């Protein structure tokens, strides 16, 4: 019975399921990008969906080829992606907050208000410090700068 079992067919089925699951997560990520109301929710959907989708697709590819060196490369890429994508999304989101990109009107910002207030104060302080470091422009003949 074991001799008649085809491991190659099983490997292809497993890799197909993993790849199609990854494509499904990528599709959901794309739908989230198009349908969600503001920048912050969109970037969350894209980061989570695309990272998980890419991980599943790569895992399916590694399973399909069934070679240790390819699987090692796939796992390294997955780990690197899972570490860098959330950090990049956080940096982009924080930059969006500092650039005052508006939140969706139904977003509950109660827990976030102290952070927003602190960011506004820090940004004002850094702007004032920057303004002090700039050299003063000489006055023109008409009294303006």
The pLDDT assigned to 45 comes to 92
Q: Does the pLDDT of residue 124 top 70, yes or no? A: no
Range in 55-64, 92-101, 113-122 with the lowest mean pLDDT? 113-122
- The b-or-e profile of 92-126 (16+ CB within 10 A means b, else e) is ebeebbeeeeebeeeeeeeeeeeeeeeeeeeeeee
* Segments in 68-110 forming alpha helices (H): 68-98
Between 81-85, 91-95, 104-108, 124-128, the lowest mean confidence (pLDDT) is in: 124-128
- Residue 115's pLDDT is 77
Q: Is there a contact between 74 and 58 (Cβ–Cβ < 8 Å)?
A: yes
Residues whose CB is less than 8 angstroms from the CB of residue 62 and which lie 6 or more positions away in sequence, other chains included: 70, 71, 73, 74, 75
Chain mean pLDDT for the chain = 84
The pLDDT of residue 117 is above 80:
no
Q: What is the pLDDT of residue 55?
A: 96
Cα separation, 92 vs 76, in Å, equals 24
């Amino acid at each position: 019975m074991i001799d008649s079992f085809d491991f190659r067919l099983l490997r292809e089925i497993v890799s197909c399921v993993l790849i199609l699951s990854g494509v499904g997560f990528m599709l959901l990520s794309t739908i989230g990008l198009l349908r969600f109301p503001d920048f912050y929710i969109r970037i969350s959907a894209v980061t989570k969906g695309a990272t998980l989708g890419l991980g599943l697709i790569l895992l399916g590819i590694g399973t399909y080829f069934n070679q240790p060196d390819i699987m090692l490369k796939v796992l390294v890429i997955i780990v690197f992606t899972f570490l860098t994508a959330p950090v990049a999304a956080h940096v982009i989101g924080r930059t969006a907050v500092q650039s005052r990109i508006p939140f969706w009107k139904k977003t509950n910002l109660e827990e976030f208000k102290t952070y927003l207030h602190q960011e506004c104060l820090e940004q004002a302080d850094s702007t004032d410090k920057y303004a002090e470091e700039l050299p003063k422009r000489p006055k023109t003949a008409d009294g303006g700068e």
